A and B are shown apart, each in its own frame.
Chain A
Amino acid sequence: MKPRMMMVLCAVMCGALIAACERETRRYKELPAAANRETGVRVSQLEPGMPQQRADVKSPYQENAWGISEGKRLYAAYNCAPCHGVNGGGAIGPALIDDMWIYGAKADQIYATISQGRPDGMPSFGGHIPTQQIWQLVAYVQSMAGEVRATTAAGRNDAQMGAVPESRQPAQTPIQTGHR
């Protein structure tokens, strides 16, 4: 191999290594700057005049494997499973692995759903769960619907696996169904 080729290859590999950093970072304490943003979520789709542009807010943990696995642990710890199903298949609460979203599939909408609650059953967890953990749950909920990269989503369960792992969940186009 020519030295020049060699150098290019090295540069590409170093780039790939650096790209993996975000996936592996564990921010135990400080909240990433993005998480402190106002979510600007709107409960109504009606707006006077021209609809305002909405910032595309992402969960700060969307590209972070540790954050998503923490979300998965919290999903069990905070009793999400009894209503939404152990693997998100749904029970008395709506399923989370399908493409139907009553209150929106965007990260800030999911954040608002967890933090503020929704009519007819979803409790509001704001003030009970720290912001950081809500964002971890948001990333995990998105991973259940195949909306994070397969290389970041969880590939296996510690306990017995009841469904396809999140990393093999096919990507879906979210459908906004609205409330009943």
Chain B
Amino acid sequence: MTPHIQSIIHPAGIEAARISHLWWVMFGICAFVWFAVAAATLIAIRRGRHAASAATDRQASFAVASAGVVSVIALVALLTQSVVTGRALDSIRTPDALRIQVTGNQWWWDVQYENPTPSLRVTTANEIHLPIGRPVAIDLLSNDVIHSFWIPSLQGKIDLIPGRLNEIWLQADKPGVYRGQCAEYCGAQHAKMAMVVVAEPPDDFERWLAANRASAPVPVTPEQERGKQVVERGPCAMCHTITGTLAGGHSAPDLTHIASRSSLAAGSLPNSPGYLAGWITDPQHIKPGNHMPPTGLNADELQAVLTYLETLK
């Protein structure tokens, strides 16, 4: 898996650029203060102790007063910059924005592209595709505990709170692949709750959306057909959905187009047949405590399931 960008100082959208700017302003002012204090301390050490007199007292009072004034000015400057940035972060609201619903789960992200026509909705998991240059509204929910949605290259963080709808706006301006991460401790596998964010030109995005609207491809070979049957009759279908098949569980990531995604287990593993086999055989070794149980498929069944899942582009 290529390392994806996850950095607030390499912004890829206007909101992240504002946050990055605020970060540099704070860094500059704080660095200046630090060097000024360090320099004053060094000068004081060099000069050593002097006998107190009316003249030195006046000098000391002047130094304290001017340092106080400079501190107040610096703090007000930081506060102003922070408030201005905070207000500006909410400025890209438009009625024709792309609307996505992201639901946090222990320990994966459910992603739905909303559409008034239910059949045109797209459901995926742990991977968000965004058209560049278009504002995106993300509705945030949680199914269990508090999570926090954070794509450092695109926006600040916001919590996903059970029973409450939160909303965040962002816009990607540079095409690229970014990494998002849960930023609120949410249990054993909090660290392995990541997502891949693909910002791409609008045409590519529309193509991706259309491809993901389709039902799962029908198996062609007997081996693929057998894999589909194992999925439908075995334990997989109890939790996972594959649109167009009998698998219709709702408590685990949607697998309809799993082969088109770049990662497995919420950004924990690259998506390749080998890693997928490892994950299906022993998920508790890779993410101890996650909600996928060891499935107990035998070698033949596993091979068939892998063959079938690889066709779900």
Majority secondary structure, B binding face = loop
* Contact, CB under 8 Å: B294 / A78: no
* Contact, CB under 8 Å: B282 / A128: no
Q: Which residues of A contact B145 (CB under 8 A)?
A: 158
Restricting to B264-295, which residues have a CB under 8 Å from any CB of A? Answer: 282, 284-285, 288-289, 291, 293-295
Stretch with Cβ within 8 A of A (4 or more), from B117-125, B169-177, B232-240: B232-240
Report the interface size class on chain A.
10 to 19
Q: Which residues of A contact B289 (CB under 8 A)?
A: 26, 28
| Residue from the list A26, A127, A133 in contact with B293, Cβ < 8 A | A133
Sample of 17 more A-B contacts, CB < 8 Å, known A26-B289, A77-B238, A159-B162 = A28-B288, A28-B289, A29-B282, A29-B284, A73-B291, A77-B249, A78-B238, A127-B235, A128-B233, A128-B237, A129-B238, A130-B293, A130-B294, A130-B296, A132-B293, A132-B294, A158-B162
Q: Which residues of B contact A130 (CB under 8 A)?
A: 235, 293-296
The distance from the CB of B131 to the nearest CB of chain A, in whole angstroms, is 34
Count of chain A to chain B residue pairs whose CB atoms are closer than 8 Å in the complex: 39
Q: Which residues of A contact B215 (CB under 8 A)?
A: none
Report the interface size class on chain B.
20 to 34
Bitwise interface map of A from 64 to 95 toward B, beta carbon under 8 Å scored 1, else 0: 00000000010001100000000000000000
Alpha-carbon separation in the docked complex, A133 to B235 (Å): 11
Q: Which residues of A contact B294 (CB under 8 A)?
A: 29, 130, 132
* Chain A residue at minimal CB-CB distance from B145: A158
* Contact, CB under 8 Å: A128 / B234: yes
B→A interface (CB under 8 Å) = 144-145, 162-163, 233-235, 237-239, 249, 251, 282, 284-285, 288-289, 291, 293-296
7 A–B contacts from the bound complex (CB under 8 Å): A28-B284, A29-B285, A29-B288, A77-B238, A77-B239, A132-B293, A133-B293
Bitwise interface map of A from 7 to 31 toward B, beta carbon under 8 Å scored 1, else 0: 0000000000000000000101100
Alpha-carbon separation in the docked complex, A77 to B233 (Å): 17
Most buried by A among B144, B162, B238, B284: B238
| Residue from the list B162, B163, B251, B285 in contact with A77, Cβ < 8 A | B251
* Chain B residue at minimal CB-CB distance from A160: B163
Q: Which residues of B contact A78 (CB under 8 A)?
A: 238
Alpha-carbon separation in the docked complex, A176 to B210 (Å): 57
The distance from the CB of A117 to the nearest CB of chain B, in whole angstroms, is 15
Q: Which 8 A-B residue pairings sit nearest by Cβ, starting from the closest?
A: A77-B251, A28-B284, A29-B284, A130-B293, A28-B288, A128-B238, A28-B289, A133-B293
Q: Which residues of B contact A28 (CB under 8 A)?
A: 284, 288-289
* Chain A residue at minimal CB-CB distance from B249: A77
Alpha-carbon separation in the docked complex, A50 to B212 (Å): 64
* Chain B residue at minimal CB-CB distance from A76: B251
Alpha-carbon separation in the docked complex, A58 to B295 (Å): 23
Q: Which residues of A contact B239 (CB under 8 A)?
A: 77
* Contact, CB under 8 Å: A158 / B144: yes
* Contact, CB under 8 Å: B235 / A128: yes
The distance from the CB of A76 to the nearest CB of chain B, in whole angstroms, is 8
Restricting to A97-138, which residues have a CB under 8 Å from any CB of B? Answer: 127-133
The distance from the CB of A175 to the nearest CB of chain B, in whole angstroms, is 32
Q: Which residues of A contact B249 (CB under 8 A)?
A: 77
Alpha-carbon separation in the docked complex, A77 to B234 (Å): 16
The distance from the CB of B297 to the nearest CB of chain A, in whole angstroms, is 11
Q: Which residues of A contact B235 (CB under 8 A)?
A: 127-130
* Chain A residue at minimal CB-CB distance from B251: A77
The distance from the CB of B309 to the nearest CB of chain A, in whole angstroms, is 19
* Chain A residue at minimal CB-CB distance from B163: A159
